[in-house]
């Protein structure tokens, strides 16, 4: 990779110092959450604030925990007789999915994975899988679930809503944890007097590199380590149930 994390942070220093100097009283403070979080991670990863980036990483971890839990329950020895009868391994796995879990969902889990988590998926992905856009799916979820004490309860079940909930909980086909477009939009909200942001692609690349070696701690105490691969991608090594899974977070 062209820069190490130390070199990236050194190159970014004027920009990092500027963002760190932005006070809550400034009118654009709330409109640059990703830049503030990345700056915080670069300056002091251990004490960095939690913003959109870490929340996206946390949601990926929750999905991996769910997948790991399902893999742990599967008895592949039992699958062999079924497969010999013409079923595929995918069919066997699908037949073991517990869709009843979507009848009642813990409030915090629902908010994290099914409300906020909807933003992790691109319009193309949603259209391909459900022939609906994000807003339509948001409406579908809102119409299908009612909030009760500490939980969300499903009303009328349908194959569509169950498929949507299953996908949002387990699919790893998510958007990058932050994109050049998001960084560009936030940069445009910073007063023009700040110089040094002319090459937005270079700035984006440096911000990605600044995450090399950063460790994110999840609510259950498990950690995810970020790293830059030999090909320049940002990857995360997650440990659901202490089993290592490595995913590309920014390609």
- Over the stretch 8-31, which tens digit does the pLDDT of each residue have? 999 999 899 999 999 999 999 999
pLDDT value of residue 30? 95
Q: Are residues 148 and 233 in the same domain?
A: no
d(CA 27, CA 8): 28
Beginning with the edge strand found earlier in the chain, give each strand of the sheet holding 234-238 in spatial order: 215-217, 223-228, 234-238, 245-250
Q: Are residues 47 and 130 in the same domain?
A: no
Query: How much is the average pLDDT of 140-152?
Result: 96
Final residue before a domain boundary, out of 142, 170, 198: 170
d(CA 223, CA 212): 14
Final residue before a domain boundary, out of 148, 170, 192: 170
Q: Which residues contact 227 (CB under 8 A, 6 or more apart)?
A: 212, 213, 234, 235, 236, 237
Q: Are residues 38 and 104 in the same domain?
A: no
Does residue 101 carry a pLDDT above 90? yes
pLDDT value of residue 81? 53
Mean pLDDT computed over every residue of the chain: 89
Q: Are residues 125 and 154 in the same domain?
A: yes
Q: Are residues 136 and 212 in the same domain?
A: no
Q: Are residues 181 and 231 in the same domain?
A: yes
pLDDT value of residue 59? 98
**Residue written as tokens 């946390």?**
58
Domain that holds residue 243: 5-51+176-250
- 164-215 pLDDT, tens digit per residue, is 999 999 999 999 999 999 999 999 898 866 655 668 899 999 999 999 999 9
The alpha helices in 188-241, defined as continuous H runs, are 200-209
Does residue 83 carry a pLDDT above 70? no
d(CA 30, CA 28): 6
Q: Are residues 97 and 43 in the same domain?
A: no
Q: Are residues 34 and 84 in the same domain?
A: no
pLDDT value of residue 194? 62
Higher pLDDT, 96 or 222: 222
Q: Quick one: pLDDT band at residue 89, thresholds 50, 70, 90?
A: very low
Does residue 141 carry a pLDDT above 90? yes
Q: Are residues 136 and 164 in the same domain?
A: yes
Q: How do beta strands 145-148 and 234-238 pair?
A: unpaired
Q: Are residues 108 and 23 in the same domain?
A: no
Q: Are residues 148 and 67 in the same domain?
A: yes
State percent of the chain over pLDDT 90. Answer: 76
**Structural domains in the chain (count):** 2
d(CA 189, CA 142): 32
Q: Are residues 156 and 91 in the same domain?
A: yes
**Residue written as tokens 């929750």?**
62
Lowest mean pLDDT among 49-63, 89-103, 122-136, 224-238: 89-103
State percent of the chain over pLDDT 70. Answer: 87
**Residue written as tokens 């670069």?**
42
Final residue before a domain boundary, out of 145, 170, 195: 170
């Amino acid at each position: 990779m062209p820069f190490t994390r130390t070199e990236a942070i050194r190159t970014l220093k004027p920009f990092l110092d500027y963002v760190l100097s932005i006070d809550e009283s400034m009118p654009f403070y709330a409109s640059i959450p990703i830049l503030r979080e990345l700056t915080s991670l670069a300056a002091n990863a251990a004490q960095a604030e939690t913003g959109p980036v870490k929340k996206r990483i946390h949601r990926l971890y929750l999905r991996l925990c769910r997948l790991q839990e399902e893999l742990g329950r599967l008895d592949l020895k039992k699958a062999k007789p079924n497969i010999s009868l013409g079923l595929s391994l995918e069919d066997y796995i699908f037949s073991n999915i517990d869709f009843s879990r979507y009848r009642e969902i813990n409030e915090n889990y629902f908010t994290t994975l099914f409300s906020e988590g909807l933003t992790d998926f691109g319009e193309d992905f949603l259209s391909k899988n459900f022939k609906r856009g994000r807003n339509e799916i948001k409406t579908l979820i809102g119409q299908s679930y009612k909030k009760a004490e500490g939980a969300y309860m499903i009303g009328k079940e349908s194959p569509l809503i169950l498929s949507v909930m299953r996908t949002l909980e387990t699919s790893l086909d998510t958007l990058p944890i932050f994109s050049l477009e998001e960084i560009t939009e936030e940069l445009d909200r910073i007063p023009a007097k700040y110089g040094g942001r002319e090459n937005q692609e270079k700035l984006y690349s440096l911000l990605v590199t600044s995450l090399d070696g950063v460790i994110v701690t999840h609510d259950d105490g498990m950690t995810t380590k970020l790293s830059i691969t030999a090909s320049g991608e940002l990857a995360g090594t997650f440990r659901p149930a202490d089993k290592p899974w490595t995913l590309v977070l920014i390609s």
